[in-house]
Amino acid sequence: MEMIPLPQISVGAIAPELTLVAAAMIILMLEVFTISKGRDNLAYVALAAVGVAGYLVIESLGSPMTTFSKMYVVDDFSGFIKLVCLLGAGMTILMSVKYTRDEGIDGGEYYSLLLFATTGMFFMVSGADLITIFLGLETMSISLYALAGYARGRLASNEASIKYFILGALSSAFMLYGMSMIYGAAGVTNLHEIARIIGQNKENIHLVMLGGGLVLIGFAFKISAVPFHMWTPDVYQGAPTPITAFMSAGPKAAAFAAFIRVFSDALISLQYQWWIIVWILAVLTMTVGNLIALSQENIKRMFAYSSIAHAGYILVGFTAGGKLGESAMLFYLLIYTFMNIGAFAIVAIVGQQGEERTSVSDFAGLGYRHPLLGLAMVALLFSLAGIPPTAGFWGKYYLFTAALDQGYVWLAILAALNSVIAVFYYLRVIVVMYMREEKGESLPQNAFPASIVVVILVAIYGSVLLGITPGGYLALAASSSLAH
């Protein structure tokens, strides 16, 4: 029998993914084979895996390669986003240690699902082929559906899981249908090859446009762009707070990365068709997100709408495109991870057991009862609002100047107006924290374990100090963009 020629594969390229999957499986085995006392330490197994994966990703920076029959690509772009995802995962794991204990959540599956979700993101951002991207997306999404419903005692968490699952499955169907049309028109699934074939041959352009449109809807859902954002408030509000923090950072960054790769590589010849759609999406997403956030009483829901608005800002950078736009997006995704997860960590502390205290009014007097915590929240909210000299300000500044640079003056103006609206609802929390008369009692001493303090310190570093000296990270973001 003749032998089939074997493909050239380089296992070293997927070492970070292998680390994460192996750790997830080890955690599962530890979960079922060890006595319950040892399970508290599973978080640190997961954290170690995140650290090792981070080391491996950093090692791979600067040496791009394509392997696995051109289905998997290692480049600085994927490396940067992977580091953002790992940062999000690491901070989430740290803030989950106390949360899972308080809520009586079994650790094992929780942490392994977090690692599976991160693995999915890795394959999404490194996917140079529609199939790899889709499988990564599904691995990430399925893990997130389960994680959203993990607080089994709370009805809101069950609701979040079901809503996320049904709408997420629908959006995956849209994306898969779109991909199948692109495949039907081009005959290949490799992103470069698609670009080459549809660039040469305009015959099947209608089918590619329809397919591209459906894929766009799929991505718009994952990054919760208006009008595909309906799931976001309910899911963010109902999911366990650390999972909400996780969902708002890594998965969004990964979806943006795959979005960029598909549209600025495979569908680059349709650029003039899709940029106008992305322009409209950006404006709608910013405006609707910010306006609805103004009237929210639940703080998790408010952050859900605020995260929609932030996706809109990032879409501004996407519309601008080019090296400037892309590096601004990458930089923003990084600092957004810091500040948003930090803010959610504080929400988790204040929320206490059962997430009973998640309305904005529960923050009343917090600034006096816990001055340091209040100060941290102020810093993070300033950064989210984009007030100088925080990192949030620089992030927005680079996004909007990228738009101006490409001549999208109106888009930049609308984005700037939107950031002014956003200041209102972020300031409202600060006003409640300091101006409203004190009513609640102090948080118990054990509300501040070292793990969550580390998360907040890292977040402060990323959203304040990084704003004062953004140079190094900005240079890294610039060198990581796909465009040249």
CA–CA distance, 419 with 241 (Å, rounded to integer): 25
Instruction: Find, among 474, 122, 469, the residue nearest to 326 by Cα.
Output: 474
- Least separation in angstroms between CB 99 and other proteins: 15
Nearer to other proteins among residue 6 and residue 472 (C-beta): 6
Nearest alpha carbon to residue 58 among 77, 74, 79, 72: 79
The sign one gets for the Cα dihedral 328, 333, 337, 343 is: positive
Of 296, 125, 149, the closest CA to residue 222 belongs to: 125
Only segment of 137-145, 263-271, 297-305, 462-470 that touches other proteins (CB under 8 A): 137-145
Q: For residues 118 and 85, is the Cβ–Cβ distance under 8 A?
A: yes
Identify residues 14-33 at the interface with other proteins (CB under 8 A).
14, 21, 25, 28-29, 31-33
Binding-site member from 113, 345, 415, 458 for other proteins (CB under 8 A): 113
Helix (H) or strand (E) segment spanning residue 65: strand 65-67
- What does the alpha-carbon distance between residue 414 and residue 399 come to, in Å, rounded to a whole number? 13
Instruction: Report yes or no: 187 and 197 within 8 Å, Cβ to Cβ.
Output: yes
CB of 120 to other proteins, least distance (A): 8
Closest separation in Å from C-beta 331 to other proteins: 29
Which range binds other proteins by CB under 8 A, 77-85, 128-136, 261-269, 285-293? 128-136
Cα–Cα distance for residue pair 379/357, rounded to 1 Å: 21
Contacts to other proteins from residues 50-109, by CB under 8 A: 68-69, 71-72, 105-106, 109
Q: Hunting for tokens 């003056």 — which residue is that? A: 409
Backbone angles phi, psi at 75, to 5 degrees: -145, 175
Footprint of other proteins on residues 160-179 (CB under 8 A)?
Answer: 161
Among 102, 193, 265, 405, binds other proteins (CB under 8 A): 193
Which stretch, 182-190, 281-289, 392-400, 468-476, contacts other proteins (CB under 8 A)? 182-190
Indicate whether 199 belongs to the interface with other proteins (CB under 8 A).
Answer: no
Other Cβ atoms less than 10 A from the Cβ of 29: the count is 11
Binding residues for other proteins, per CB under 8 A?
1-7, 9, 14, 21, 25, 28-29, 31-33, 68-69, 71-72, 105-106, 109-110, 112-113, 116-117, 119-120, 123, 129, 131-132, 135-136, 138-139, 142-143, 145-147, 149-150, 152, 161, 181, 183-188, 193, 197, 203-204, 206-207, 209-210
